[in-house]
Amino acid sequence: MKREYEVIIIGGGIIGCATAFELAKRGITDILLIEKRYLTSGATGRCGAGIRQQWGSELNARLALESTHIFEHLEEYTGYGHSCGLHQGGYLLVAYTQKEWDQFQENLKVQHRLGIDSRALTPQEAKQIVPYLNTDGVYGATFCQKDGHADPFHCTQAYAQGAARMGVEFLTYTEVTGLQIQNGQIAGVETTKGPFSARIVLNCANVHAPELARMAGEEIPVTSERHQALVTEPVAPLIDCMVMAFSRSFYVQQTPHGSFVMGIGPREEPSFSFRSTWQFLEQNCAVMCEALPVLRKLNVVRQWAGQYDLSPDRNPIIDEAKQARGFYSICGFSGHGFMVGPRIAILMANHLAGKDDTMDIRMFSKKRYETGKLLLEPAVV
């Protein structure tokens, strides 16, 4: 294996693999992607895999809309010989407070400006879409048919295999343990399999991005928050769309296989733990059975934990280290990195390849926390 590359990417989740693919598509193929375990072993392989365009900020609505266009034909786009499992059964966003319902009206205006086909529903209309929804306490809901979910394993593999066909190399079960920096410029990485050199290094290590950035003299304001999810036994189709509520902090969907995947988002102390807890099982089932009483009959098959890489304004950070030019951190996705990953990868690849983009990458810089130009988002779970 050679030791010198044009670009090194740290992290084999959706962000690292999609960025490798987009760079290769732009002719930058001399890339080594280093992953400490296996591809999708981090948040990507543990996520709910929901894809929604119903955001409250124009930025996120755009990122998700443009990513959805890619998810809609990811197989052809990457040359992947397997379905990536996209199912556009819609997202039903349920409002349980007046304040939330008012905010939904504002969110719809943003979405409609971008041509997103979302609409407001009364509780009765919401029940027509999800007959098992308990409408007690529901003020209203919004729905977008083009929202849905995809298979995070196949999506990531699609990007990785597409990148590999263009010449990108992958080194799994290898941890980046240090950085080489010369005269304020990144020069390479130290790993458990020896050093590799490159003048561009992309830090796509999710919750571990801050510790790598610190080696380059940068403080990235991202913390790790454990989030848990579970899957039930498969049953006959009961709901076709994702059901989500911000104020009750839950999401639930039925997969094509028939099992239900669901999670709640209680605020926990910062944690890197992959351990799942009985408290989650108990709280999750109480919240879900209240919202969709039909779930009471189902058996839980498995539960797991992953991490959100939380940034202060719950939006991504793309930042180049000042003391190690060429070292970029791409993290802070705060629980929605899967659905915006395709567009973020394009943005990053265009920047590195010197190509124009309709989005200004500078708005994602962590400088916004000093200038107060935060990327505020009212619609996060």
Ligand X SMILES: Cc1cc2nc3c(=O)[nH]c(=O)nc-3n(C[C@H](O)[C@H](O)[C@H](O)COP(=O)(O)OP(=O)(O)OC[C@H]3O[C@@H](n4cnc5c(N)ncnc54)[C@H](O)[C@@H]3O)c2cc1C
| Residues at the site binding ligand X, with contacts judged by CB under 6 A | 10-16, 34-37, 41-44, 46-50, 175-176, 204-206, 208, 212, 227, 229, 263, 306-308, 333, 335-339
Comparing CB distances to ligand X, the nearer of 108 and 318 is 318
Nearest distance, CB of residue 330 and ligand X, angstroms: 7
Comparing CB distances to ligand X, the nearer of 139 and 337 is 337
Nearest distance, CB of residue 35 and ligand X, angstroms: 5
The candidate with the shortest Cα–Cα distance to 18, out of 336, 335, 343, is: 343
Nearest distance, CB of residue 171 and ligand X, angstroms: 9
Tokens 């498969």 belong to residue: 234
Comparing CB distances to ligand X, the nearer of 72 and 135 is 72
Nearest distance, CB of residue 292 and ligand X, angstroms: 17
Q: CB-based contacts of 278: which residues, under 8 Å, 6+ apart?
A: none
Comparing CB distances to ligand X, the nearer of 108 and 207 is 207
Residue 141 CA to its chain's centroid (Å): 24
Radius of gyration of the chain measured on its C-alpha atoms? 21
Q: Where are the alpha helices (DSSP H) in 72-148?
A: 74-78, 98-113, 123-129
Comparing CB distances to ligand X, the nearer of 208 and 314 is 208
Nearest distance, CB of residue 115 and ligand X, angstroms: 21
CA 289 – CA 297 distance, rounded (Å): 9
Nearest distance, CB of residue 324 and ligand X, angstroms: 16
The candidate with the shortest Cα–Cα distance to 189, out of 167, 215, 218, 219, is: 215
Pairing between β-strand 140-144 and β-strand 91-95 as defined by DSSP bridges: antiparallel
CA 162 – CA 342 distance, rounded (Å): 14
Nearest distance, CB of residue 322 and ligand X, angstroms: 21
Comparing CB distances to ligand X, the nearer of 50 and 326 is 50
Q: CB-based contacts of 204: which residues, under 8 Å, 6+ apart?
A: 9, 10, 11, 13, 15, 16, 19, 330, 331
Measured from the Cβ of residue 95, the count of other Cβ atoms closer than 10 Å reads 25
Comparing CB distances to ligand X, the nearer of 139 and 215 is 215
